[in-house]
Amino acid sequence: MEWILWDETMNTGHAGLDEDHRKLVALINRLADGLTNHKGAAFCRDAFGQLVEHVQQHFAMEERLMAEHGYLDAERHKAHHATLFEEVRVLSDAIEAIGAGASPSVSLLDFLEVWLKHHIDGLDRSLAAAIPGS
Ligand SMILES: [Fe+2]
Ligand SMILES: [Fe+2]
């Protein structure tokens, strides 16, 4: 079972952002699968690594769009990205422990779900409305 089910209410209306967000959901689901189904340390480490990499690329892509279009709320949005990235990055130790056999923490996966949905629903929706591509 998927941890996060994509639904149309998560679309911002910007094709590039929405495609990236769907990929983020898929990567969180892969990590959740590894953690909850005890797929082992190597699987979990790989899934987490892919998620972190995609988050980094995704934030960079949004920040390029902000620069290209002179987006007025860019500084606040970028500061939020920096906080979000740090919040995900520090999960690394917990992922390692779970991958090595500790019980998966549902709160950790809940955290990622809330983190993503809040990210999409707030600042990203405002960004999508302000730039071409919708
Ligand atoms: Fe985003
Ligand atoms: Fe964003």
Cα(64) to centroid(ligand 1), Å: 12
Q: Whole-number mean pLDDT of the chain?
A: 90
pLDDT reading at 120 higher than 90: yes
Which CATH superfamily includes the segment(s) 8-130? Hemerythrin-like (1.20.120.50)
- Cα 64 to Cα 12: distance, rounded to the nearest angstrom: 17
Q: What is the model's pLDDT at position 134?
A: 64
The arithmetic mean of pLDDT across residues 91-119, rounded, is 79
Quick one: which ligand is closest to 79's CA? 2
More confident residue, 113 or 71: 71
**Which residues keep their CB under 5 angstroms from ion ligand 1?**
124
- Cα 112 to Cα 102: distance, rounded to the nearest angstrom: 18
Cα(82) to centroid(ligand 1), Å: 12
Q: What is the model's pLDDT at position 33?
A: 92
Cα(59) to centroid(ligand 1), Å: 6
Quick one: which ligand is closest to 12's CA? 1
What percentage of the chain exceeds 70 in pLDDT? 95
Burial track 100-121 (b if 16+ CB lie within 10 A, e otherwise):
eeeebeeeebeebeebbeebbe
Segment (H or E) for 9: none
Cα(58) to centroid(ligand 2), Å: 8
- Tell which residue, 95, 85, 94, 3, has the closest CA to residue 44: 95
* 53 exposure class (CB count in 10 Å sphere: 0-12, 13-18, 19+): exposed
Cα(101) to centroid(ligand 1), Å: 32
